[in-house]
Amino acid sequence: MRIKILALLTCLLLPASLLAAEAANNSTAPWGSAKLDPVEYKPHKVVYDVSVSSESAFTHVLDRVSYLNKLYQADPFDSSIVMVLHGNEIPFFAIKNYDKYKVLMKRARSLTQSGNIRFRMCKLAAQGHGFELADIHGFVEMVPMADAEIVRLQQEEGHVYMQ
């Protein structure tokens, strides 16, 4: 009888002691760490609604767009990435501010070279910042209104909305 009780206690206490030992070894990561799911992404049409107020925030948008384009293998036939600009990033694109934002503008322009990334700027927002068509770098396409362009890209061209 004594052996049966000892065996039963061992069976009950062993899992608890193993769990306690595991928890002690991984007290800050009791579930281990994340694993990468190697998903392959097919190219899609995407419209980014861009309205940021700092150079670092705009750089972050460019980073995201650039990485998405890389995942899409810069496919000019099946992918399209359009950034619709209508916020405080507009002055970055002003020709008169080229010296101040030269690095940022060279990067933005280089993204358009693959043919599947485009910048579209809201004419109303540009005018609100004091800029006309002639004041903005030539790689930017001006559209009458950002909201209408985002809707058009979604409804007529099948772009997925990103912010």
User: Same structural domain for residues 78 and 10?
Assistant: no
- Residue 76 and residue 151 in one domain: yes
* In a shared domain, residues 9 and 71: no
Yes or no: say if 66 and 102 are a contact pair by the CB < 8 Å rule. no
Sign of CA dihedral 139, 144, 147, 150: negative
Q: How confident is the model at residue 15 (pLDDT cuts 50, 70, 90)?
A: low
Residues 70 and 142 in one domain: yes
Same domain, 93 and 121: yes
Provide the CATH number for the domain around residue 113.
3.40.1260.10
Residue 47 token pair = 């419209």
Domain extent for 82: 45-162
The total domain count for the chain is: 2
- Is the pTM here over 0.85, yes or no? no
The pLDDT tens digits for 59-112 are: 999 999 999 999 999 888 899 999 999 999 999 999 999 999 999 999 999 999
Domain identity same for 49 and 126: yes
Residues 17 and 72 in one domain: no
Q: Are residues 131 and 58 in the same domain?
A: yes
Give the separation between CA 126 and CA 114, rounded to whole angstroms: 26
Asked whether residue 60 is domain-assigned, the answer is yes
Least confident range of 11-15, 45-49, 81-85, 157-161: 11-15
- Is the residue at 40 inside a domain? no
pLDDT at 8: 45
- Specify whether 77 is located in the same domain as 106: yes
Decide if 145 is inside a domain: yes
Within a domain: 117: yes
Structure tokens at 30: 């009791």
Report residue 100 as tokens. 């101040």
